Amino acid sequence: MSQILKITKIMKPKFLYLICAGIGAIAINLIPSLPANSQPAVPPSSPPTNVLRSLNLSDVQKRQIQVILEKGKDSRRASSQELRTRQQELRTMMDGNTPREVLTEKFNQIQNLRRQNEQKRFGQMLAMREVLTPQQRSQLSKAVRDARRNWRERRGRRFSGFDNEF
């Protein structure tokens, strides 16, 4: 029995390392590929309810913003699904013997979909901006900057030291 405990103590760190390495490999495959010179985008979302509340919107402004957000919802959902599908296709193609030209074409399709999605988000942002007063725009801008900074800080803490583990 004591030999089993000794073996378990010796093997446990190696076993944990293998488990962590396997989980890391899976996680890396789940992260969408980005060009080397780009930063991960802040996850797209409409302004949080508490941010909108803090802007003291009039009833008319609330209705206008709701219409803007609802108007593009189905289109955004479809675009996001198409992007996920194309990314999965690329990952599958990367596992096989697909020629470089075909992989490059699929990658370019993904980049074009990302660009289209960003253009839609920008259009939505401009439409919402038109509804807000200059003071509300300033408040919203500050809230978005704070949210992005917090997201980056949380993300940084979550992944700090990850590269040094292996």
pLDDT per residue over 69-104, tens digit each?
898 888 889 999 999 999 999 999 999 899 999 999
Residue 103 forms part of a structural domain: yes
pLDDT band at 46 (very low <50, low <70, confident <90, very high): low
Residue 17 forms part of a structural domain: no
Q: Which tokens go with 65?
A: 């913003």
Q: What is the pTM of this model?
A: 0.57
Residue 125 forms part of a structural domain: yes
* pLDDT value of position 67: 92
Residue 9 forms part of a structural domain: no
pLDDT digits over 126-166, tens only?
Answer: 998 999 999 999 998 888 888 888 888 887 777 665 555 54
Q: Which tokens go with 113?
A: 């979909």
Residue 160 has what DSSP assignment? T
Structural domains counted in the chain = 1
Domain that holds residue 101: 58-133
Under a CB-based contact definition with an 8 Å cutoff, are residues 55 and 136 in contact? yes
Write the DSSP assignment of 57-85 as a string of letters: --HHHHHHHHHHHHHTHHHHHHHHHHHHH
Select the more confidently predicted residue: 38 or 57.
Answer: 57
Owner of token pair 């003071």: 135
Select the more confidently predicted residue: 62 or 4.
Answer: 62
User: Which of 37, 33, 24, 27 has its CA nearest to residue 93?
Assistant: 33
